[in-house]
Amino acid sequence: MLFTLSPSIISKKPLFSNCNIQMTKLKLFITLTIFTILLINCKNSENNAGDTTSREDSINTNKYMMEPGEVLVPDDTTEKKFRPTLPLEQAAFAGSGKDESRLKNEYEFMFDKTWQIKGRVIAGDDSIHRKKEEIYNFNRDGSYKYSVDGVQGTGTWKGWMNDQVPVITVFPADLNQKVSEWNVKNTGKTMIWSGTSSYKDNAVMIQYVIK
């Protein structure tokens, strides 16, 4: 028996044609999306690589173009030196405890007098060093004042005992002047100050006389 297909059946589209078209569009969309993501990632990688290279170049070369008139300033390598000070409330014999009365007795000869430096000698030098005028007044509260060649100033002093020897440490109020320390010897109308090694004055000896 022979079968003859109806023209209406032959003219019908395949059953899965619509599905195939939709699948094709979806694949195309996915492909385009993946391509776009890969392209963006590549560009970001190139930009990051460029930034890294620029930073490395900046660090390695450390280039700086000076403007006209600019001058390079060298680093300040000057050592900051410490210069101690002595407040008046800590001066004289403050904090000496049981030695205070003895100290007052040892140093009493210095007060209520005007002292003038007659001269100073330095170890290894036979000359006597003096200025035109060096006048000092020492006060019981631990302060002192001076006049050296017409320039006046003040300061504080501290008295203490080194074994059996009276020692005086002198702190000028002018911070440009150094602190000094001296063994003190009373010889009646004069006194002799012999420098100690604490502030590198051990090569110097000074004679004071009552003016």
Same-domain check for residues 139 and 45: no
Is residue 48 classed as helix, strand or coil in its secondary structure? helix
Same-domain check for residues 44 and 106: no
In a domain, 162, yes or no: yes
In a domain, 102, yes or no: yes
Same-domain check for residues 44 and 95: no
Same-domain check for residues 149 and 45: no
One-letter amino acid of 207:
Q
Question: Taking a C-beta distance cutoff of 8 angstroms, is the pair 196, 182 a contact?
Answer: yes
Same-domain check for residues 93 and 188: yes
- Give the CATH number, domain containing residue 95: 2.40.128.270
Residue-number span of the structural domain to which 130 is assigned:
88-210
pLDDT in tens, 95-119: 998 889 999 999 999 999 999 999 9
Same-domain check for residues 29 and 98: no
Pairwise CA distance, residues 195 & 189, whole Å:
20
Residue 30 burial (CB < 10 Å; 0-12/13-18/19+)?
exposed
In a domain, 25, yes or no: yes
Pairwise CA distance, residues 177 & 167, whole Å:
19
Same-domain check for residues 94 and 42: no
pTM for this structure?
A: 0.62
In a domain, 94, yes or no: yes
Q: Which of 6, 36, 51 is the last residue of a domain?
A: 51
Question: Taking a C-beta distance cutoff of 8 angstroms, is the pair 91, 156 a contact?
Answer: yes
- The count of other CB atoms within 10 Å of the CB of residue 182 is 24
pLDDT tens, position by position, for the chain (211 residues)? 444 444 444 444 454 455 555 666 666 666 667 767 666 665 555 555 555 454 444 445 455 566 665 555 555 555 557 899 999 999 999 999 888 999 999 999 999 999 999 999 999 998 999 999 999 999 999 999 999 999 999 999 999 999 889 999 999 999 999 999 999 999 988 999 999 999 999 999 999 999 9
The number of CA neighbours under 13 Å toward the Cβ of 49 is 6
Domains held by the chain: number: 2
Same-domain check for residues 120 and 39: no
In a domain, 78, yes or no: no
In a domain, 11, yes or no: no
In a domain, 75, yes or no: no
